[in-house]
């Protein structure tokens, strides 16, 4: 079984399987510990509305960081109730009338 982890370095993103990192694959890799900064990806969301608020937390009492627009897509890193995390302290409220969400 493979788990997908995403590492972001500046603008570059690389996906690595847990099995490859731990050396359980057929390529003879070594025992490398998984860095604590690895983040599992739940799915992908596409914004189908205009001026969708990106919040600082999973609450309407949080600050609005900026607004997202139609056609933008993001990896979902966490889910909490009807909220989707797009990054650390970056959340959108999931409403299927203006957000498409595909679970991986």
Tens-place pLDDT, residues 10-49: 333 344 444 444 444 444 444 444 445 556 889 999 999 9
CATH code: domain of residue 69: 2.30.30.40
Q: Which range marks the domain in which residue 92 is found?
A: 41-103
Please check whether residues 45 and 88 belong to one and the same domain: yes
What is the maximum span of the chain, computed from C-alpha positions, in angstroms? 50
Please check whether residues 30 and 49 belong to one and the same domain: no
Q: Which helix (H) or strand (E) covers residue 22, if one does?
A: helix 18-22
Domain count, the chain: 2
Share of the chain above pLDDT 70, in %: 62
Please check whether residues 35 and 45 belong to one and the same domain: no
Residue 98 in contact with residue 52, Cβ under 8 Å?
yes
Please check whether residues 33 and 46 belong to one and the same domain: no
Please check whether residues 64 and 95 belong to one and the same domain: yes
């Amino acid at each position: 079984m493979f788990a997908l982890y995403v590492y972001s370095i500046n603008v570059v993103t690389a996906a690595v399987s847990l099995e490859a990192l731990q050396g359980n694959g057929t390529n003879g890799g070594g025992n490398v510990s998984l860095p604590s900064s690895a983040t599992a990806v739940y799915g992908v969301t596409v914004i189908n509305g205009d001026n969708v608020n990106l919040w600082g937390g999973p609450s309407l009492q949080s600050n609005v960081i900026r607004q997202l627009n139609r056609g933008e897509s993001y990896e979902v890193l966490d889910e909490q109730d009807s909220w989707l995390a797009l990054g650390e302290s970056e959340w959108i409220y999931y409403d299927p009338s203006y957000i498409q969400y595909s679970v991986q």
